[in-house]
Structure 1
Amino acid sequence: MKKFFLCLALGVVSSAFISSCSLSKADSASENLVIDSNKAVSDVVVAETNVEVGGAIMVASKNIFDNITNSKDHTTLIAAVKQAGLVEILSSDDSFTVFAPTNQAFSTIPKATLDSLMKPEAKADLTKVLTYHIVLGALRVSDLKDGEEITTVQGGKLKVGVKNGKVMINNASITISDIVSNNGITHVIDGVLMPR
């Protein structure tokens, strides 16, 4: 995976790309690169995206924050990221995996709780919740193994569950996977992960 991102950063987008930067032993120049559970593309250039999230095409040359900002399904998440002061982190050159709850996921939190978290005096608590959705390093859905625990930037652990091809993070399902940005991977989830 590190070879993939190194080659992507260097702009190697030729037929030699897939053969020299294979993502796994099973990959070959003739196989498709899976971008999400419903879409596959045969060329990494086209993988620039063809993943639509919230009515917007995600673009691999953009950073995580810029990509998810374009999704109409993630306006609550973007407002929270801005309120917590995490824009710079999600726009940085560091590599992250972000589990991105939708607006609908946030709507399951009592309004009074969400409103309270969005107040300036609750910035530390909001940051704790949001950084529980972020993992260092770019993890594709194929990297997530049933039963494993992954450590978040917040310091807590997320439990991965895989059953019949469905991937769960704690109690949330990944609904759109492997959204490639120039500083990592985003997975859309249908629940808000609360630190334990």
Structure 2
Amino acid sequence: MIAAPLGLLLVMACGGGAAPAEQGTVEGSAASPEGGQSTVVDELSQKNLVQVAASSPDHKTLVAAVQHVKYEDVLVNAGPFTVYAPTDAAFAMLPEGTLDDLLRPENKATLENILEYHVAIGVFKPEAIRDGMSVGMANGDNVRFALADDGSVMINDAKVIATVPASNGLVCVIDKVLLPPS
């Protein structure tokens, strides 16, 4: 019988041992009652949507709003999702006091609606967008895309100024906060 010695030879030639155990770090493991998937630290894989936004110095307000309504665990799931991520400067253009009002407990549903209006199910790369295209967002309302004369993509009246791929979708950085019609 040749199969057994050949199998042994292959195991020995390939190292035969177990793979190295230390390839990433996990915080908030089963022993920790707090957190969820968003607490997993993985330095080896591509960043998910939440990690992309959290690592950006221009998205502190968006990250705080997402954390306020506890949407982090939703946005680290498989997706794919496209998140239209307003910059801190975009939030600063809202009328004075608006953000503070949205962060009040009694306005949580309104903030959730606004945040969900920034998330599309699926990946919508700017190069695949067509002028006049309409896309349904996570809150049930639609946005309309337009192509500007300079070739840039507009979503409603916000301009897509950058895109960052994520393991579970795409982050499209925008220069204005999208406000849902409802």
Q: Provide TM-score, normalisation by structure 1.
A: 0.68
Show the counterpart of 2:38.
none
2:172 equivalent in structure 1: 187
Structure 2 residues without counterparts, runs of 5 or longer: 1-43
Task: Spell out, residue by residue over 1:141-189, the C-alpha distance to the aligned partner (whole angstroms, 9 max, x if none).
Answer: 1121110110000111101000231110000000102x11100011000
Give, as a single letter, the amino acid of the residue that structure 2 aligns with 1:97.
Answer: T
Q: TM-score, normalised by structure 2?
A: 0.73
Amino acid at match of 1:167: V
Q: How large is the RMSD of aligned CA atoms in angstroms?
A: 1.3
For the pair 1:158 / 2:158, whether they are aligned, the reply is no
| Structure 1 contact 83–120 (Cα < 8 Å) conserved | no
* Higher normalized strand content (fraction of residues): 1
Aligned partners of 1:173, 1:163: CA distance in 2, in Å? 9
* Kept after mapping to 2: 8 A contact 1:60/1:181: no
Would the alpha carbon gap of residues 60 and 175 (structure 1) be closer, same or farther in structure 2, given more than 3 Å must change? farther
Matches within 5 A, 1:57-76: 61-76=46-61
- Please tell me whether residue 78 in structure 1 is matched to residue 78 in structure 2: no
Question: 1:62·1:181 contact (CA, 8 Å) conserved in 2?
Answer: yes
Kindly indicate whether residue 108 of structure 2 is the aligned counterpart of residue 108 of structure 1: no
CA positional deviation for 1:120: 1.8
1:172 aligns with 2:139: no
Which residue does the alignment assign to 1:89?
A: 74
For 1:149 and 1:182, the matched residues in 2 are separated by 25
Q: What stretches of structure 1 of length at least 5 have no aligned partner?
A: 1-58
2:83 to 76, 81, 98: 98
- Please give the alpha-carbon distance, in whole angstroms, between the structure 2 residues aligned to 1:188 and 1:62: 16
Matched length: 137
- In structure 1, what residue type is equivalent to 2:65? A
**Structure 1: how far apart are the matches of 2:98 and 2:166?**
31
CA distance in 2, matches of 1:83, 1:64: 16
| Counterpart residue number, 1:16 | none
Would the alpha carbon gap of residues 110 and 163 (structure 1) be closer, same or farther in structure 2, given more than 3 Å must change? closer
Residue type of the alignment partner of 2:148: K
Percent sequence identity over aligned pairs: 36
Match of 1:56 in 2: none
Runs of 4+ in 1 over 6 A off after TM superposition: none
Give the drift of 1:111: 2.8
